[in-house]
Amino acid sequence: MKLRPAFALIAILFSFIVSKAQSWQSTDYGIRTSVADQTIEIQFYSHSVVRVIKLPAGKKFDKESLSVTGTPQKTVMTVKKEGQFLNIRNAKIRVQLNLSSGAISYYTREGAPLLKEKDEGAVFTPFDDAGNGTFNVQQSFVLDSDEAIYGLGQQQRGKMIQRNLRLHMVQGNTDDYIPFFQSVKGYGLFWDNYSPTQFADNPDSTFFRSEVGDGIEYYFMYGGNADGVISCMRELTGQAPMFPLWTFGFWQSKERYKSQDELVGVVKKYRELGVPLDGIIQDWQYWGNNYLWNAMEFLNPEFYDPKKMVNDVHNQNAHMIISIWNSFGPHTKQYNELEKIGALMDFRTWPESGSEKWPPNQDYPSGVKVYDPYHPAARDIYWKYLNAGLFSIGIDGWWMDSSEPDHLQAKPSDLNNKTFLGSFRKVRNAFPLMTVGGVYQHQRALSSGKRVFILTRSAFAGQQRYGANTWSGDVFASWNTLRNQISAGLNFSLCGIPYWNSDIGGFFLNAYPGKLKDPEYRELYVRWLEFGTFCPMMRSHGADAPREIYQFGNKGDKAFDAIHKFIKLRYSLLPYIYSSSWDVTANNSSMMRALVMDFARDKNALDINDQFMFGKSLLISPVTRPMYVKKTVIGKDSLMVEDFNTIKTKETYLPAGCYWYDLWTNERFSGGKKVIKETPIDIIPVYVRSGSILPIGPSVQYAEEKKWDDLEIRIYPGTDGKFALYEDENDNYNYEKGIHSTIDLNWDDRKKTFTIGDRNGSFPGMPEIRIFRLVLMDRSPMSENELTTKAGKRIEYSGKKLSVKL
């Protein structure tokens, strides 16, 4: 059939467009092409990590990522055009680009589907960002209908699986958003954008949409499992350094100690009571009035000799960290210097009034302003005063409050504030990354004798590289809030940031007007502390009432004794905890582990939001409902009273694939079923996975009191097991130079043989000879009160390999 001229012209044009759309070129790290008025570039950062860039045709993209520290690598790959698809294969994955629609799909090397973009899923909408012409950017994906995904930062929603939800991702006090999720299928996706972002998941699609972007940029990574994905994320955005051993002990704080005598007295009281303690924290207003906000000096006369205060804490074998903020009062030296370089932002922040009274007196505005941490000179100024006023007198670490930062009664125009890197809107969510990073980098440059430790209220992708432990913000005390902390911390950890904690007991006590006199609150506090025993930092803190152990009675009182018992348990687990932290640094592991990390094949474990693994051996099942209070009517009044006469229980699911041992009684259970555990006020369900090798440390009053030269080693049979016992100088960065030691412990379950490997490495002060007391836990009944075992087999070890038949 002969075409008429008009149709012939259309056919020629269509053929030209298709051929143009299907052209592509190789680059050093992948390919580049143009499809449907978009430029698409695919870059390989490794065999497992792919960077995708999409731009409107004719636009350029030269962004230097704030989160990503990795660089693209040349990898062995094949590129083959098959019809309208371009298939790029390497040793781990296959990436398929639809040359007609521009949609990208991801597969395993063997061809199993992982993730695909939605056809026509990339959207660029012109946007004026404070006078700069840019775009709203969106990319949509298609997930399997029953696919479990995790991550997206920390949210107070109680959800474990992050499906069927919509999030407005802007950092806040109790919500830390990270535009990253990972799938039970073993892949992860990081949306590298810092502006306010919408995440939505519905039956049709899953998408990220950000307010500001010169282009779309995201990273796809395939790790095979959750640990593998986290390893990819850390290789992309930075490794987590070691914290000092003392950070893993017990920490006491409150809002706030009002004098140096009060603060030093708390440490002294703990020592007198024989209750272990490693640190105390000084909250705000040590600088004086609000016009001097965050002066980073002790200008409050109640702190009459700051150097002596720090020395007094140190002389009691404790450490001290202190509150610092990301804003400054108008009478501070920092404010004046920052104002001169245009590094202060103009929006409402805390505190609003110069008066300390509540509510704020708006007739006397504080004038406090947030600084610009994106500005290198501003970060220099910040550290100059932090070093001069606090680090120089021996403060051990930093409590960076309001690191999101506080943005009160926010208006859209506030985001027009100019920062060193453009509008505040463009870089909004990276604020915590930049301010925490500034402190870390400056301290590391100045000193290697003390490891950086930063407790911070907010985080963004990559923050694990800056020695930061994030807490969940100023949460309100309630049983529901306690329960929500579990899934919040787990999803946060699944984003690759391994250190997280919460205010034990909740920050605000609004629901409990009786404060510590309320028996339900006392029970809540004890249960929260029991949960906190198995978090990367065990820290008691809050407003409205003090939280020191002696506020809950005396020895012999149930609350006091339960608190003391779990603090001691924390210290007995320090060899396990510190070795697990080395596993984080050396092997990209995680301390708080959602069940999907170790039991992805057990579908019953995937959506449990009130259990987790602490390290790879301990299954923790916190009690998150009241059990021992009841309402009593006296005349016309009703009172809540404690009732310990009837012991209550909690049900726990034990994942399939192994045996489980009750930590308290040593009773053994098969996995893949639910079990009931009696939970008096001083017990929560804790189970040890078969194959675990659990080192138990000495009884101490602080973490470094005794060397680990005499350890009980508990072996839980039923599965082969291994554990690497790690030791170093407990502080400083010499471990990065190889100055540390590891001892590999192995259990052969069939042969019933325990092998202690050759010691690898050394460090000053290392015990040359040590005692291991080996206890095979299948025949050792336990005492729930003291967690003691029958004496095991005593082995003297001098660093050379030896095997023992048990």
Question: Which listed residue (201, 278, 283, 474) is catalytic?
Answer: 474
What letter does residue 649 receive in the DSSP assignment? E
Q: Which of 454, 445, 452, 407 is nearest to 429 (CA)?
A: 407
Under 8 Å between Cβ of 299 and 376: no
Sign of the alpha-carbon torsion through 174, 179, 180, 184? positive
CA distances in angstroms from 235 to 69, 121, 132, 228, listed in the order given: 8, 28, 33, 11
Which residues share a beta bridge with 182?
Answer: 150, 188
Q: Which of 90, 59, 425, 374 is nearest to 217 (CA)?
A: 59
d(CA 623, CA 681): 9
Query: Tokens at residue 56, please?
Result: 């409107």
Instruction: Give catalytic status of residue 404 as yes or no.
Output: yes
Query: Tokens at residue 426, please?
Result: 């463009």
Q: Which of 485, 556, 481 is nearest to 512 (CA)?
A: 481
Q: Is the peptide bond before 351 cis (omega within 30 degrees of 0)?
A: yes
Phi-psi label, residue 35: left if phi above 0, alpha if psi -120 to 50, beta otherwise: beta
**Residue environment code for 142-172, b if the CB has 16+ CB neighbours within 10 A, otherwise e:** bbeeebbbbbbbbbbebbbbbbeeebebbbb
Under 8 Å between Cβ of 266 and 316: no
Instruction: Give catalytic status of residue 401 as yes or no.
Output: yes
Q: How are beta strands 629-634 and 618-620 bridged, if at all?
A: unpaired
655 phi/psi in degrees, rounded to 5? -60, 150
Q: What angle do CA 196, 198, 200 make, to 5 degrees?
A: 165
Instruction: Give catalytic status of residue 117 as yes or no.
Output: no
Alpha-helical (H) ranges within 415-478 are 424-427, 431-446
In the sheet that holds 176-183, the strands lie side by side as 24-26, 30-35, 38-44, 49-56, 216-222, 187-191, 176-183, 149-154
Question: Which listed residue (176, 404, 662, 731) is catalytic?
Answer: 404
Under 8 Å between Cβ of 773 and 795: yes
Which residues share a beta bridge with 724?
Answer: 744
CA distances in angstroms from 772 to 743, 786, 798, listed in the order given: 12, 20, 11
Q: Return the SS3 of 387.
A: helix
- DSSP state letters, 146-189: T--EEEEEE-SS--SS--S-EEEE---SS-EEEEEEEETTSEEE
Please count the residues of the chain: 806
Strand ranges in 378-471 using DSSP code E only, listed in sequence order: 397-400, 418-419, 422-423, 454-456, 468-471
Distance of CA 765 to the CA centre of its chain: 32
Under 8 Å between Cβ of 793 and 774: yes
d(CA 102, CA 121): 9
Radius of gyration of the chain (CA): 28
Question: Which listed residue (175, 401, 523, 727) is catalytic?
Answer: 401
d(CA 178, CA 470): 13
Q: Which of 119, 107, 130, 199 is nearest to 159 (CA)?
A: 199
Q: What angle do CA 271, 276, 278 make, to 5 degrees?
A: 95
671 phi/psi in degrees, rounded to 5? -80, 175
**Residue environment code for 237-276, b if the CB has 16+ CB neighbours within 10 A, otherwise e:** bbebbbbbbbbbbbbbbbbebeebeebbebbeebbebebb
Query: Annotated active-site positions, please?
Result: 401, 404, 474
